[in-house]
Each structure stands twice: as C-alpha cells, then as structure tokens.
C-alpha cells in the first residue's frame, strides 16, 4: 500500500477504514441491546454517560489489540501460542473457544428474535436462518467484500435508530448533559456496571488483532508507523459510531418506556411494548435493526472463532482448507443446539454473559503482557501511560465482571 509523503492521504485512509467497524458490529449484540434497553427504561437518560466512559475504555483496549497485530504481523492467538508455554496456551485457547460459543449463542438469539418480529418465524427457525447466513457470508465471500457487507449492516442499524429517534422525539435538553455528567445511585449501579462490563468483549480483541492484517503494508518501521495512524483513526471512527448507536438505544428506551413509566428488561418485551407506544414503524425499524445486528455480530463472532482455532493450532487461516470451514461450524452448531433445546432467551443471555465474564481476564492479561514486551513489540511497545491506562481499565472491567458474575449466581441482581 503506497503511503503519501505530503499532506494527509485521504484516499489511503478511506481504503484502510474497515477493521474497526467489524469490531463495532461485534459489540452491538443482543447482550448490549438488553442492558441498554433496561437502562433506558428504568433510569431514563441518566446512564448515557456510562456509554461514553465504556467507549473511551474500548478505544484504548482495541487500539492495543490492533497495534499488536501491526507490530508483530500476527494475531493475538498466534502470539499467545508462540510466547506462552504449551499448557498456558492450551488453557487460554480453550477458554476463548468456549467464550466464542457463548458469544455465538447471544448473537443467534438476536437474529432469531428479529426474524420472529419481522416474519413471525419460531425462534429455532430464525436461529437456523441466522446460522445459514453467517456460514454463507464467511465461506463464500472474499474478505474485503464481506467487510463491506458488514459495514453496510452497521449503516442500516444506525439509520434505523436515527429514524426511531426522529419518531420518539427525546428530550435533548436532558440527553446532552447525561452523556458526560456521571449520575449513579444504589438502584442504578448494577445496570450501569452491566452496560460498562458488556462492551469489552474477549472475541473482539482477538478479532481486531487479526483483521488488521487485511491491509497490506511493508515490514519497515516507518511504514508501520504511518499505517498505525490510519488504524487509530479507523478505531476511533468505528468506536464513535458504536457510541452513537449504543447511546441511541438508551435514548429511544428512555423516550418511549421511561416516559410512560414502563420498565423493560428483555428484547421481546421491548418489541411488544414499542408498537403501541411509538407506532408500527418504530417497531418495524427495531426488528430490522435487530436482524442485521444479530446476523452481523454472528459473522464477526465466527470470524474471531476461526482465527482463534487456527491460530492456537498453528494452522494457516485459509478459507479453502477443511479446518477453516469446520471452524465456522464448531461454534455455530452447538450454539444453535443450545437455542433449540431451551427457548428461555433471557436465561440463555445470562449464561452467555457469565461465560464471557469468566473468560475476559484471560484475554486482557496476555494482551497487556505482550504489548509491554519490548523485545516483541520494539518501538511499538506500550508506553507507561498507555500501559497504566490499560491496567486500570482492565482492572475495572475485570472487577465489574466478577461482581456481575457473583450477583448473577447468587441472585442478588
């Protein structure tokens, strides 16, 4: 990829945009939808600042994951296999595969509910269609074409929520201060932590460190430094789009449900309540956005799964190989079976979040260790400021997830 010497090469920048947006689709999943809707319906606009804070945290972590990929030319999965002992690597690989299965379950639920709302299909059929679309998109498409498809999905989700905001007419005088001014109390702290802890997802960290390689560059440090600029812009732009969509979820829930004093704690309840309060168009847009979010996030989840499986096994990530194709099914089929055997989507979502909470420290800690390794990263190793910030962020996210796990298992939530 040619890098211009003078001015700012916008053409090169636009050709680079993409990897960060795949990550954004990955964390706009049913788990986030559920917590955002619950937060907006119960506490109005009060928790919008949590979306802002979580986005800032996410930018730091995802930038480190992408930088690891740029500096080493290898994904996080491959770096772990090469830098850690075989038992540690095997343990970390197993935990992330299990987390990927849990993630896929949540993503398929989103698609299943969306197809149910749009066409009245039973959940198992909606989940099956989501699986088939996911497998087809990954196996049959070239990466850059698939990337454009997923970015298109993200655009549709954003447009749907923009139109919903125009329909529900939120109180903007309350919205803007709430985005930056912390406001929390004993009754809202659990939901706030759920929103914050659900944004940094293990599979997205692995995904970003890998899809960054879709852009071709040389091996010189000057070229990598120049392309690191584009990565930062890509990550920032993508995370800001995710911030806007996540914020829009809370805004719509607050404007519709909180205004009518109706507390909603599930996606199905939100859809059932939205139509009589905001009209059939708002309900239709909600369902469309949910379908694209479910299918899009399931695709990015499977992309992460393929990289994790091939990376930890030390095999090439080649779509033409049998291992690659089997890897797509490894988590999709168990996830579909879990949904097929249990139609209680709320419990399934809780299960998936518990698994992610348990695994997250085993992704963040290796990332911090590798990014601070000067022998591995060279001049790209984390500065003291970046490393300290990442340690604090990781500690916050891990503590929140441990607390959420404890509250879920003990029934205190």
Of the chain, the percentage scoring pLDDT greater than 70 comes to 93
Q: Where are the domains of the chain?
A: 10-410
- For the stretch 150-175, pLDDT in tens is 999 999 999 999 999 999 999 999 99
Say which range, 135-139, 171-175, 231-235, 328-332, has the weakest mean pLDDT: 328-332
Structure confidence at residue 1 as a pLDDT band (50, 70, 90): very low
Does 5 score more than 50 pLDDT? no
* d(C-alpha 413, C-alpha 399), whole Å: 16
Structure confidence at residue 276 as a pLDDT band (50, 70, 90): confident
So what's the pLDDT on residue 274?
86
* d(C-alpha 261, C-alpha 374), whole Å: 55
Average pLDDT over residues 394-408: 78
Structure confidence at residue 68 as a pLDDT band (50, 70, 90): very high
Q: Say which CATH superfamily domain 10-410 falls into.
A: Amino acid/polyamine transporter I (1.20.1740.10)
Q: What is the mean pLDDT of the chain?
A: 87
So what's the pLDDT on residue 222?
77
Of 289, 281, 277, 279, whose CA–CA distance to 248 is shortest?
A: 289
Structure confidence at residue 4 as a pLDDT band (50, 70, 90): very low
Average pLDDT over residues 81-98: 95
Structure confidence at residue 411 as a pLDDT band (50, 70, 90): low
Does 413 score more than 60 pLDDT? no
- For the stretch 195-205, pLDDT in tens is 886 788 899 99
pTM, full prediction? 0.90
- For the stretch 26-46, pLDDT in tens is 888 877 888 899 899 999 999
CB of 80 within 8 A of CB of 365?
no
So what's the pLDDT on residue 33?
84
- For the stretch 129-149, pLDDT in tens is 999 998 888 887 778 888 899
Structure confidence at residue 402 as a pLDDT band (50, 70, 90): confident
Secondary structure string (H, E, C) spanning 209-259: HHHHHHCCCCCCHHHHHHHHHHHHHHHHHHHHHHHHHHHHHHHHHHHHHHC
Give the position of tokens 């196996």: 139
Two structure tokens written together for 62: 């995802």
């Amino acid at each position: 990829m040619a890098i211009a010497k003078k001015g700012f090469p916008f053409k090169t920048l636009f050709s680079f945009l993409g990897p960060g947006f795949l990550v954004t689709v990955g964390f706009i999943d049913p788990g986030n939808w559920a917590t955002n809707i619950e937060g907006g319906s119960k506490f109005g606009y009060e928790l919008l600042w949590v979306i802002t804070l979580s986005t800032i945290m996410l930018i730091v972590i995802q930038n480190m994951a992408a930088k690891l990929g740029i500096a080493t030319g290898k994904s996080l999965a491959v770096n772990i296999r090469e830098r850690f002992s075989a038992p540690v690597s095997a343990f970390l690989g197993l935990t992330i595969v299990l987390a990927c299965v849990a993630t896929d379950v949540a993503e398929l639920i989103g698609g299943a509910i969306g197809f149910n709302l749009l066409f009245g299909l039973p959940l198992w059929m909606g989940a099956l269609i989501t699986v088939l679309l996911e497998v087809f998109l990954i196996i049959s498409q070239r990466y850059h074409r698939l990337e454009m498809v997923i970015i298109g999905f993200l655009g549709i989700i954003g447009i749907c929520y923009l139109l919903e905001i125009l329909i529900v007419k939120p109180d903007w005088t309350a919205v803007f201060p709430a985005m930056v001014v912390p406001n929390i109390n004993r009754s809202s702290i659990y939901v706030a932590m759920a929103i914050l802890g659900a944004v940094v997802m293990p599979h997205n960290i692995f995904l970003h460190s890998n899809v960054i390689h879709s852009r071709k560059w040389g091996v010189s440090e000057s070229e990598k430094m120049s392309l690191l600029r584009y990565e930062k812009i890509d990550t920032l732009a993508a995370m800001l789009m995710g911030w806007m969509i996540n914020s829009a979820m809370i805004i719509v829930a607050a404007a519709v449900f909180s205004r009518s004093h109706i507390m909603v704690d599930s996606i199905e309840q939100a859809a059932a309540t939205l139509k009589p309060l905001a009209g059939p168009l708002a309900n239709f847009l909600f369902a469309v956005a949910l379908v694209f979010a479910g299918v899009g996030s399931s695709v990015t989840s499977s992309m992460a799964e393929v990289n994790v499986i091939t990376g930890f096994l030390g095999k090439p990530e080649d779509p033409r190989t049998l291992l690659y194709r089997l890897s797509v099914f490894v988590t999709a089929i168990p996830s579909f079976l879990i949904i097929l055997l249990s139609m209680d989507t709320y419990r399934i979502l809780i299960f998936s979040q518990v698994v992610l909470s348990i695994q997250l420290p085993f992704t963040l800690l290796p990332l911090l260790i590798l990014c601070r390794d000067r022998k591995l990263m060279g001049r790209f190793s984390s500065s003291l400021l970046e490393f300290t910030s990442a340690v604090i962020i990781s500690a916050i996210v891990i503590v929140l997830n441990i607390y959420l796990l404890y509250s879920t298992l003990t029934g205190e939530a």
